[in-house]
Structure 1
Amino acid sequence: MCTVAVSIEPDAEIPLILVGVRDEFTGRPWLPPAEHWPGLVGGRDLQAGGTWLAVDPAAGRAGALLNGHGVLAPASGRRSRGELPLLVAAEGRLPDLDLGRYDPFHLVLAEAGGARLWHWDGTGLRHERLPAGTHMIVNSGWEQGEENERVAFFRPLFAKAARPATLDGPWREWAFLATGAGLAAEDPRAMIVRRELPDGRTYGSLSVTLLALTPGGMRYDFTGDPRDPESFRRVLPE
């Protein structure tokens, strides 16, 4: 279950902070964030060629993808959802697409001015603008209640986290929460997970992104060691 947390405080020096945790099969090959596409920065999925989170530094936008629940696209003509973050980061909107060729998804567009969210369940598309506050999106969607144990535990912590006054930090509290706040992988509230499956494969959290957007710039930190809050490296600005 991937997770995206979005904190929106329009009057703050840093009006939008996004945390993205990517969960995937550990054997799926990928590359860490770089400009793998002209003008766009993100980690690259080497199996399908797309990404789970893309940033357009010039436009100050980011797109983040989570798999959703619903009706799968027909195998014939199915397109990778990994191209969607690239499209919304580059265009600032979800363009007209034949969505019937995509499996269900949740797609976040984040800018300093706010965030939007699209949900596709295989039969219908919904679009929402996230209000000011702290929000969490998981594979079931935008969780506004407390039914999800992960959301019930982490959302209040993100909401109370001290907001840095500048892009240069300090970001220690956010890094600690983004890497799971010390919860064990088997804890039902855990955001950083690891599952050994009966078929021998392993599924778990592979990376964490910490992104801050302001009208004048952005900060993009990343780690491929999702349990270590000290392991983040700066992607942008370089």
Structure 2
Amino acid sequence: MCSIILRLTPDGTFIAANRDEMATRAWEPPGEYWPGICGGRDTLAGGTWLGLNRAGVMATVLNRTGTLGPAPDKRSRGELPLLALCAESAEDAAKAISHLDASLYRPFNMVLADGRAAWFVRGLGSGQPEALPLPEGVSMVTSGEVNDPTLPRITRHLPRFTAAPFSEWGNLLADSSGERAEKINIPATENHGFGTVCATLLTLPREGALAHLFAAGPPDTTPFATVRC
């Protein structure tokens, strides 16, 4: 269960994300593996969990509850951010994903953002994905709905991110305390080899250059470094 936290403001969009995965699933850190798109690459299926394009659009995909891993009759969800990042704005990316056939993929959540807007998209395994605009303020997405009060991780951590300045969000991503269902940073050694494998901090301003930081390991033990691609 990955986590993404987003603060949408009149000055831009601020994003923090942890990726949770099996420690044995190989991946590569962010790079321009696809023309005009910078993102980490899943070497098993060839897609990405989070990417950016040259227009300043960010796209990320998360598994919904109970859908970890691939299925032989489904397409990889890692291709969804790549499809979204053909768009020049978050709104256009949301429209593009909402026209797909959701039955081609295992259930998923997506967050799409640029410096002016952000969207939540859910694909439930049938029909077409539904795209919903996110309001100004802080939103958190894991394996359910936006700011889902039924998920312990969100009920514990959403108030913390809401109260903290963005400069502290990296420290909040690194917090590995709490009960198992609450943890935002999951030690793989405690969870049968499944845990937090990397983290991202993004600033998407309305004007000016974006900032992209990446921790190529659990954020409590791995420093964030600037991504240049």
Structure 2 length-normalised TM:
0.86
Amino acid at match of 1:134: V
Give the 3-state SS of the residue equivalent to 1:217 in structure 2.
coil
State the alpha-carbon separation in 2 of the partners of residues 221 and 59 from structure 1: 18
The question of whether the paired residues in 2 share the 8 Å contact of 1:71 and 1:122 is answered with: no
Of the candidates 212, 217, 224, which is equivalent to residue 216 of structure 2?
224
Map of 1:1-238 to 2, 5 A cutoff? Answer: 1-10=1-10, 12=11, 15-56=12-53, 58-69=54-65, 75-76=72-73, 78-91=74-87, 92-94=92-94, 95=96, 96-124=99-127, 125-145=129-149, 147-163=150-166, 171=167, 173-180=168-175, 183=177, 186-195=179-188, 202-215=193-206, 216-228=208-220, 231-236=223-228
Structure 1 length-normalised TM:
0.83
Q: Identify the structure with the greater helix proportion.
A: 2
* Shift in CA distance, 176/111, structure 1 to aligned 2, threshold 3 Å: same
Number of residues of Structure 1 aligned to a counterpart in Structure 2: 219
Unaligned 5+ runs, structure 2: none
Please give the per-residue CA displacement for 1:37-57, whole angstroms capped at 9, x wherever unaligned. 11100110000000100101x
State the alpha-carbon separation in 2 of the partners of residues 222 and 74 from structure 1: 29
> What is the CA RMSD across the aligned residues, in angstroms?
2.4
Radius of gyration: which is bigger? Answer: 1
State the alpha-carbon separation in 1 of the partners of residues 186 and 212 from structure 2: 23
Amino acid at match of 1:210: L
Give the 3-state SS of the residue equivalent to 1:142 in structure 2.
coil
State the alpha-carbon separation in 2 of the partners of residues 2 and 71 from structure 1: 12
Unaligned 5+ runs, structure 1: 164-170
Q: Identify the structure with the greater strand proportion.
A: 1
State the alpha-carbon separation in 2 of the partners of residues 214 and 26 from structure 1: 33
